[in-house]
C-alpha cells in the first residue's frame, strides 16, 4: 500500500516458510466455517489465508446444545468438532469456497487416534488448494482426543512425526494453553519435524446459569476465547519464540490492528483472528484496512521486520 501523503510504501506481506501471504491476517479455524459463510460480507481474497473448520476422519455432529455461553470480553464454545468429515471437506467444502476465494487455505486436522490424524493428512496432502496443514492437538471439547495429544510432549512429537511422514505439505501444530509448560510442548513438535507452531487454542472455562443454577453449556465446560485471552496468548507466543526456530502463527483474542502488531512483536509471523469474526463478521477486513494506518502511526514500513522485535 502506498501512502500518497509522504510517499511511503507499507509492506504487509509475510512468509510462512514458502507460503507467501499478502498480509498476516488469517481467520482462525472454527470461527469462519468453511469460508463461504462470509462471502456475502466482503471479498474474501483480501485475507492472508483462511484456516478451515477443524476436520476429522469421519463426519461429526458435535456436542449437544447449548454449545455457546457469553462471557465478559469473550465467549465459551463447546462445538465438539462438528464437521462433515475429511472426504466431504475435500469433495464439497473446499471446491465450494473456490467460487469466492482464489488463494490457498490452511486445513485444520483433528483426530482421536494417531491413525486418524495420519489418514486425514494423507488425504489432504493431495489437495492443491491447501498450503499448510494445521494439526489441531488442542481441542478442549472432545474426550479421548484432540487436547490429549497436546498436553504431553511425547504424544505431540509422535503425532507431528506421523503427519510429516505422510505429507509433503508444511505441518503447523496448533497448541493448547491448558498445559503447565507450553515451551516443552512446542519444542517437542519442532523435534517431531513441525514446520511451524500455531498457538493458542481456547482456554478451558465454564459458566453457570443463575436462573437454572446449572452449567450454561450442555457439555458443562468449553473453550474460552475472545479479547480476554489476548495477554495469555501473547505471553505464550513470546515464550515459544525464544525456544523454537520455526515460524509461529499467533492466535488468541486478536481484535484490532494494534493486537496484530503486538502479537508480531512477540514473535508471530502471522496471526489468526477467531472470536472477533463471530461478533463482527467484518473483523478481519477492518483489521487489514487499518494495518497500514497503524504501521504509519508506529513507524513500521515492513511488517516482516517487526517479527519478534520485542526480544531484541
The residue ranges that bind other proteins (CB under 8 A) are 30-33, 37-38, 40-41, 53, 61-62, 65-75, 77, 79, 82, 226, 277-282
Q: Which is nearer to other proteins, 196 or 222 (CB)?
A: 222
Closest approach of other proteins to the CB of residue 37, in Å = 4
| Residue 62 C-beta: closest distance to other proteins, Å | 6
139 tagged catalytic:
yes
30 vs 252, beta carbon nearer other proteins: 30
The residues near 180 (Cβ < 8 Å, ≥ 6 apart) are none
Q: What angle do CA 283, 289, 292 make, to 5 degrees?
A: 130
**241 Cβ contact partners less than 8 Å away, ≥ 6 residues apart:** 248, 266, 267, 268, 308, 311
State which residue, 97 or 300, has the beta carbon closest to other proteins: 97
**Closest separation between CB of residue 70 and other proteins, Å?**
5
The pairing of strands 203-205 and 222-225 is antiparallel
The number of beta carbons lying within 10 Å of the beta carbon of residue 294 is 17
Q: Which of 121, 139, 189, 198 is catalytic?
A: 139
Looking at the Cβ atoms of 187 and 285, the one nearer to other proteins is 285
Calculate the dihedral angle through the C-alpha atoms of 84, 89, 91, 96, rounding to the nearest 10 degrees.
110
Shortest separation between residue 201's beta carbon and other proteins, angstroms: 15
- How far is Cα 152 from Cα 37, in angstroms, rounded to an integer? 35
Q: How far is the CB of 38 from other proteins (least distance, A)?
A: 7
Q: How far apart are CA 5 and CA 281, in angstroms?
A: 31
Q: CB-wise, 74 or 170, nearer to other proteins?
A: 74
Helix residue ranges, H only, the chain? 86-88, 94-98, 114-124, 147-150, 153-166, 182-191, 230-243, 257-266, 275-279, 283-297
Long-range contacts of 40-43 (CB under 8 A, 24+ apart): 41/281, 41/282, 41/285, 42/282, 42/285, 43/100
Catalytic residue list: 139
Amino acid at each position: 500500500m502506498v501512502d500518497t501523503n509522504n510517499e511511503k510504501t507499507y509492506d504487509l506481506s509475510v512468509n510462512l516458510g514458502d507460503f507467501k501471504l499478502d498480509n498476516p491476517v488469517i481467520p482462525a479455524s472454527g470461527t469462519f466455517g468453511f469460508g463461504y459463510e462470509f462471502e456475502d460480507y466482503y471479498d474474501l481474497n483480501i485475507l492472508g489465508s483462511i484456516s478451515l473448520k477443524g476436520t476429522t476422519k469421519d463426519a461429526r455432529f458435535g456436542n449437544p446444545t447449548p454449545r455457546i455461553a457469553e462471557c465478559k470480553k469473550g465467549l465459551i464454545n463447546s462445538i465438539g468438532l462438528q464437521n462433515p468429515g475429511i472426504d466431504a471437506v475435500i469433495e464439497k467444502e473446499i471446491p465450494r469456497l473456490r467460487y469466492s476465494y482464489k488463494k490457498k487455505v490452511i486445513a485444520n486436522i483433528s483426530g482421536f487416534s494417531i491413525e486418524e490424524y495420519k489418514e486425514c493428512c494423507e488425504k489432504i496432502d493431495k489437495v492443491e488448494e491447501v498450503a499448510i496443514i494445521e494439526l489441531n492437538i488442542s481441542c478442549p471439547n472432545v474426550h479421548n482426543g484432540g487436547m490429549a495429544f497436546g498436553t504431553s510432549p511425547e504424544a505431540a512429537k509422535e503425532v507431528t512425526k506421523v503427519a510429516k511422514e505422510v505429507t509433503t505439505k508444511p505441518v503447523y501444530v496448533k497448541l493448547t494453553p491448558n498445559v503447565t509448560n507450553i515451551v516443552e510442548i512446542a519444542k517437542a513438535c519442532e523435534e517431531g519435524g513441525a514446520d511451524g507452531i500455531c498457538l493458542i487454542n481456547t482456554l478451558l472455562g465454564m459458566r453457570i446459569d443463575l436462573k437454572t443454577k446449572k452449567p450454561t453449556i450442555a457439555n458443562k465446560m468449553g473453550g474460552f476465547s475472545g479479547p480476554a485471552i489476548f495477554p495469555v496468548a501473547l505471553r505464550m507466543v513470546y515464550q515459544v519464540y525464544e525456544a523454537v526456530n520455526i515460524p509461529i502463527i499467533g492466535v488468541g483474542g486478536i481484535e484490532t490492528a494494534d493486537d496484530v502488531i503486538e502479537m508480531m512483536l512477540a514473535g508471530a509471523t502471522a496471526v489468526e483472528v477467531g472470536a472477533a469474526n463471530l461478533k463482527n463478521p467484518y473483523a478481519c477486513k477492518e483489521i487489514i484496512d487499518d494495518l497500514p494506518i497503524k504501521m504509519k502511526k508506529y513507524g513500521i514500513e515492513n511488517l516482516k521486520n517487526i517479527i519478534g522485535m520485542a526480544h531484541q
